Chains A and B, each alone.
Chain A
Amino acid sequence: MKTPFLYFPPYLIVGVFFTLLLSFASAASETAAEAPSKNAPKTILQWKFDGAKEAGEWQGALGKGDGLQEGPLPDRYPGFEKGNKAGYFQDKDAFLVVKDRERGGSTDVRFALGDTFFFETWVKIKEIKPGETSYLIGKGRHGKLGVNLGEMNQNYAVRLKGANEGAEIGFLFTSIDPAQKGKRDWHRWTSKQRIPASGWHHLSVTYTFGKKDSLAVRIDNQITEGIWDMGGATDLGPVTDADDLVIGTGYQRSAAESFTGWLDNLTLSRGAPDPVELEKRYTFIPPPPPVNRQMIPTGQVLVQISEKGVPEANAWPEAPEVTESFTEDVFGLFDLPQKYISTGVRGDRANPCHIRASAVVTIPAGKHRILLRSRGASRLYIDGKQLLENPFPPNDPAGHHTLSMQDDYLDLGPGFRFAPPGNRDAWCEFTSTGGEQFVILETLIGGIMGKSKHRPELGETVVAISPEGSEHWSILSPGKRQVAYTDAGWNAYAQERRTRLDAMDTKARAEKRAEHAAYWNMRRKAAEEWLTKVTPISIPKLPEGYPAQNPIDHFIADRIVQAKEDAKLATSASVDYFKEVRPLLEAKCYGCHQGGKAKGKLRLDIHETALKGGKSDGPSVVPGDPDESSLILRISPDAGDDIMPPKEAPFTAEQIALLTRWIKEGAPWPQFDVKRFDMMPLAEDLVFLRRVFLDIVGVPPSEKEIAQFQNDPVESRRTLVIDRLLQDSRWADHWMDLWQDALAENPNILNPTLNNTGPFRWWLYESLLDNKPADLFVTELLRMEGSERFGGPAGFAIASQNDVPMAAKGMIVSGTFLGVEMKCARCHDSTTNVSKQRDLFELAAMMEQAAIQVPATSSVPLDRLQQTGREPLIEITLEPGANVEPAWPFPQFIKEEAASTLAENPQSSRDRLAALITAPENQRFAQVIVNRLWERLMGRGLVSTLEDWEKTEPSHPELLAWLGQELVRQKYDMKAIARLILNSHAYQRAVDPQLTETSPLFLATAPRRLTAEQIVDSLFSATGAPFDVEEFSLDIDSVRDLKNSITLGKPRRAWMLASTSNERDRPSLTLPRVQAVASLMETFGWRGARQDPVHHREINPNVLQSAILANGTVGVWLTGLSDRHSITQLALSVKSPEELVDRLFLRLLTRHPDAAEKESYTAYLENGFADRIVPESDRPKPAQAKHAPPLYVSWSNHLDGPANTLATDNQEAARLGDPPTTALREEWRKNLEDVIWAMLNATEWIYSS
């Protein structure tokens, strides 16, 4: 810093320079007797933190010259100049050591009896925990860390002691009593006033050793009171010796006694300045009012978000700088619009972040009650006067809160909405004189918590009013909108505002994307140019007699015709290739002779290569000539040592004879295992409708949606409904699982340690909502920007407890986007694929943007390779410890140079990687993407092994190539490809129920096992039973730091679930409702914990699936007719049992009942139908529950016995579900429940037809 003129008045400056020169130049001893008079203080040490060399040395990790940060600045602090720097002291990582002169120091820093000690500094606290004592300055007491003079040798120390919202000042020294053989004693003084926890403040301490009443401590020019609370005041002098003077940390240099914050203009003098002078030291010009009435739109609440000017401290900022604003109707906040960065990915706001809500509100004259509620610290002002305040959030009690603490709650009358967990209340009576009043609510969200932060949450930040004469509360409103502050009022308000926030977010993302339009337009242009250069794939002519709705059907029909030709040969032979030959080759040969890395370069899984043979033996199969076919030679017993297979049981004589005969007959090798070539007709309308709903939005159609479809013209209704559904936001819900699985999204709500990622689900979801083009989607993913813990793609970069996270991610990226399987290459060269470990590490290094050293834990030790005594299957060609530089390992798809022209930032290897993967030249990417869409909609990929294109060949190479080009032509719009597929005859054909898998020629599809998500979402959506699970968090009152606990919100669809993080196995850390749904989903192949990517889920039937549907908790919720269940409403409204059965079938199964069903169910429901309804007057009144907030279990109290009991009660309540409705007679209701049970256990919920 530069010397501020106010700080050193002109008449003193000369003197200061003089003494400085003197103290540096001379080592002459200065004793107390020689001390200047008290009006002429002599500076002995002065740190201004402007880079100049001063007495003492920076120490610690941060102390190497980078300890300078922004200091107090004009205009707020007029004594300083622009660009002024201060010293930053982070915990124990930075401090200053000044050696005693006797130990080589340049200045005398001892103070003896009679010396006047004067210390002053500007100080700004970053963090200090209540009760913690941190040293600003201390000479002596360093023990072995100093020069080993013991620890009772504190010449002097000025310390801060953390208190609520600020710090007390402490002055400490060790006295020595010559009269008592040099007896030493501690003397400690502690201030009553505090230094505020935020902003710059000035502190000075004056004390003349030997004069017990001489201590004067000033904070911001004001003398503060205090007491000598240890050892009392004394006339004794201090211990002086050769120990060090240390600034910024204490006698053990531990975090607990280290100062965290900034210091500037720290001065130590012998002799003090004039007291009058001292009262001018602190100058501060408050910022102009941040908001005034003129700024507020009439009848609205102006909400201002300040991310700048908010120090990282749990303290009110002096001058928060507004960075964003929006308006609200009333003083009710629960969430902010998201912050988006880059091309529109979720970012983190500054933490803490300051929010101010202001409005001009007409409050009638009278004495009203006012409530302030918030999660963060908050303050409420009316007409400039602070009315209410809520404190900063408490620290993590590590589970030791008690349930009984919740007995203490604020209840302000009937219907009063209790504070939800983790919110604090303050209220008062307020007398208004009537008319317009200027109301300001400010709150801080987030905040410091040790080395981490609180989650930045608003909770329920509300100002509510109960006017004089009323018992009721409403949210304070400046305009017409009135929101009753009751549970129902709030829920409706929050739901409506949620929709508005979502819309604001969507708009904000679009704006961010628009900022990057120039680059993406360039990409589009490059793609168009590429299209003009490549030979377009021509659409084959439609063979006669085949139906077609679009080009896809041409390709499909063309292939069928070809396959028919192939099959003719095969049918004339006596050996069945698919039944007899291939299984044999699969069992005996494929182990080594399949895929891209076949042994001896011999692939026996493909016709062409089998004919050609490998590198040694010549043709493997010579049709018609077994004697020339090396396959036969190598498997016959005559082969001796060369016999195949080398280790397993040899082929039997019968097997050899079979293969010989097969070759003799011409070795027919049809590509498809198809005997019949008849094609299924189009599915019926309702069957199609259910399928297309499940495939696009993940749930079946409602009765209304069915009617809408049926009201459309017959010839266009299918196209129309496809278009409607592609516009539906539920599309995003339905397609989540694909990406969560493939990208191994694996958040943990508690202490992430099991290869966890951040919850980048929210970015995925928004990408699907926005229908981001595939190339942009992949680019955003690979840039890994934005929020790590709250839903940005940065969360993808995380792999907790993984030795090379980027290698794990590289493996995911290569499989998902390029069809290159690299799982094995994670630790060694792949046995079945061509990828080497180095390839994966090069890819990883591109993602890391730096070279990666291969850790030993990412390799297989050689002794392990040999352990079993067999020839190792795996090879290690990358030494542990090797350094792998970023490089593009897939030149077969595109040359690395292409990145230089295509990447937005060619300097960034992540951008380069994104460009190389998504470049139009790289048709592998386009084809992999369309293949994924195809597989999902058609039940079978054109390449069936989605993530490993080495393993299988495409069934329809031309169609695949055409679709790949089409994706480029459609600007990488995945919905456009989906639309094509959905409109094809191939997609719309009826299912052949007897197929176990979809025909490779797509003549017909097999019944498709629905995903766990589809099953759960469909059941809830169709029945209208409430999907009511807990907030997905084990820290609902938000006491933990954001690294250890997050919330995944209140799930409304199945994809929003995740691992329940229940490794601790504690009943009090369970979410029984989430658990019930998760247990059901897991039986259907969903995984809560996704430690690795999955491209094909398990789909085989097992006993637990139907068991848990039939008898499990979710089954109870779905069948139990409560007042909240929408079939209850249906049952009350229908006119006849027939109508009920009809409508149930339509609603649940999207079809009409057949005769047997109709008869059976109508008969069952007929009895008692007429008087099924209990007259309202006869229904038992619900018991009036005590008006009290529901108790909750969370991390904060989970070790408490009663909390544990509550958790087990909650489990029981979850098992029981909602109480049954009283509107229906019990017996009849139970019958209806039985019918619903039967319908819900039909296979139609499990398999799509």
Chain B
Amino acid sequence: MNGYGGSILRVNLTEGKVSKETTPSDVARDFIGGRGFGIYFLLKEVPKGADPLGPENKLIISSGPISGMLIPGGGKCDWTTKSPLTGGYASASMGGHFTAEMRYAGLDSIILEGISPKPVYLLIDNDKIEVRDAADLWGRNTFEVEKHFKEKLGEEFQVAVIGPGGENLVPYACINHDYGRQAGRGGVGAVMGVKKVKAIVVHGTKSVPVADMTAYKQAGMALYKACKDAEGLKDWTRYGTTIVVSWCDEVGALPTRNFSAGSFEDGKNLYGPVMREKIVITDKGCFGCPCPCGKYSRNKKYNNYVEGPEYETIGLMGSNLGIADIEAVAHANLLCDDLGIDTISTGNVIAWAMECYEKGLLTKKETDGLDLKFGNAEAAFELIGKIARREGLGAMLAEGVKRAAEKVGKGSEKFAIHVKGMEQSGYATHNATAMLLAYMTCDVGAHHNRSWAITYDLQVGREKVVPEKVARVIWLQNFRPMFDVLGGCRLQWVELGIDRDLYVPALEAITGIHRTWEDLDKVGERIWNLTRMFWIRENEGFGRAWDMPSPRFYEEAPTSGATKGQITKLEDVNRLLDMYYEQRGWDANGLPTAEKIDALGLRTVVG
């Protein structure tokens, strides 16, 4: 099949058996790849009520038609599962080179099923596919295991590996690859860990078939030219996502001390140019990317190497913890990567714990003697280790901020910053209603990847609650994750501003199927509704209450910074939801109506 690796690999871990089937052409036609394949298999094959950490849950890893191709940003694979963090839909996007190598091994999806009786790793070398013993790798950190495989098998092998975080089933454990890329959020690492899969190593030497080779080369080169001609290319490449640290600080979006404010008085020490000068050595990118965002760094203060920190980690483990030292943030980043836990959730949970401590809701005894004040980087480092190993205070924090706050109570639930149980990522939304709505309605929980709308908020008027803002969020939610479906990255469009129509002839030349962006946005809308249906199916009573944000964003105006004194009203939070549901074609409780399901042709998928 043109544009595809050709096969779905099933790994039955309970029995230690592997099998391959031809990728169904109707699934490829309707779901395209990546995240599309993820939701298709999740709905079809994971039974209702499955325990995320039980044998019935599956971990679905999918590349897409642009993965491994001459297409800017063709370097991402999607990891979909039922989330042990939220009990709902999890979909994490991993960059690097893994997705390309999957394609060269002829694979569109890898589906991990069941639970292995003992630790194993999956070896894929073209058509040689084996489940192998991993007893001597279990317990080891991610960097050393990746290095082990690179030395043993050669640099052409690509490695995805979990650390102690995943092995210890931390619900926000991640999967690591290429010394700095992650399938980060929603606990995909814990699902891999409970299945006792330490690593997946893949190597392939096959060529990817395309429908029209001449048109493909032409369209691909046109995309690269557009990226290279983009006005901001060199600036973006120089700083990566750290380019916005100063601006977020300026407009009150930089999460500070557990999202109590949007500006950090010591923020200057975390800005992009400071980091570049102090620690960055290489602009490291994913497969096929002309604008590498990765900032591989040599941390002189702590004598180690890390890819990062990028914006999210600077926000969540820097300003959000009251830490102003970029090298301390880089060290925290490395600790999380090596142990295999998501930096965003980890930073968010530690910030909550710091606020508890400063408010006397956690005593020094309960913090294992740590003076857990905002700004105490050494305490944060220790806590990262404890979380990954579920030791001491780490055992409670490892459950995630929602469950930890339920345990501690005493009003701490009010400053547990999450939606649907997923810790909010790096934008403070006290007075930015489109972005607030984006976090409320994101399909995996409080993550910014689907819809990022802060500049739009500033353009229209940050406090305004108007239908255009809702329409904008919906358009972004249908469109942005289509890059996850295609098996690539959205940042070439997002950051360089290239014309998205340039992808259309490329996609047609690769797959042989003509699709406009109108067609693709429709696929995006279908997938959006399917992920919503998954939440409904798996969570009794799922509805509007699950879309509500943390009370901090409608009760506690910041007392300092760019958004001092500014807060969203609860009635506006509800108005945003009302407009959102209406525009989405959902009922007042946020459930897709029967008409909507039929209009999108989803009856066959959801029944």
Say if A and B assemble together.
no
